[in-house]
Structure 1
Amino acid sequence: MSNVYDKAHELKSTLAESEEFTSLKSLHEQIAADDIAKRMLDNFRKLQLELQQKQMQGVQITEEEAQQAQQQFELVQQHELISKLMEAEQRLSVIIGDVNKIITEPLEEIYGSPEQQ
């Protein structure tokens, strides 16, 4: 019987070699080399993190903060590299979600799926 950890490392390598991952990595490198894009993305991610932390602490986000986040999002979406990066992140996120669903199927046979509970 094959070792689960060996298969996990094989999956890691496969993911690292995938077009989705290599595209994402390339876009990160391009943004890191572009001072304006890097600063825009860093500011957007900082704001995102601050708002997520507030939500996790149960603090209500103000209308002004929500508008600021929306404006920041629209601004970064207008930058071609950042927009491509976000699309690449979304594609990779879908793959990781699909893989997670696949590898947890045996547990669902025992415990049922979250939707069934």
Structure 2
Amino acid sequence: MSNIYDNAHELEKAIRNSEEFNELKEAFEAVMSDESAREMFENFRDTQLELQEKQMQGEEITEEEVESARQVVEVVQQHKDISNLMDKEQRLNLVINDISRIITKPLEDLYGESEKQ
């Protein structure tokens, strides 16, 4: 019987070797190699993180912050390389979400069975 952690490490390797991850890596490298794209992307990520931190701390996000974030998103989506990076990230996230559903299926089945009883 194989060790569950060994299987997890094999899954990690499979993700690293996947087409989706390698396309994301190439897109990320393209953004990082262009100074203006890198700055825009870093500004976008900083804005995202600031808003996430506020949400996690239960702080209210102001209309001005929402509008500012919306403007940052609009700008980065217009940059070809950043838009491509975001598309590739979304594709990999879909794969990871599918994997997550697969590996949590035993819990779903277990709790689903207990609800039927």
- List aligned pairs for 1:26-41, cutoff 5 A: 26-41=26-41
1:44 counterpart residue number = 44
Mapped partners of 2:101, 2:84: distance in 1: 26
Cα deviation code 1:17-44 (max 9, x no counterpart): 1110000011111111110000000001
1:53 counterpart residue number = 53
CA RMSD between the two structures: 1.3
**What amino acid is the match of 1:101?**
R
Structure 2 unmatched ranges of 5 or more: none
1:103 counterpart residue number = 103
2:2 counterpart residue number = 2
Cα deviation code 1:47-89 (max 9, x no counterpart): 1111111111121111111111000000000000100000111
**Residue 35 (structure 2) pairs with residue 25 (structure 1):** no
- List aligned pairs for 1:53-92, cutoff 5 A: 53-92=53-92
* Percent pairwise identity: 55
SS at match of 2:51: helix
**What amino acid is the match of 2:80?**
E
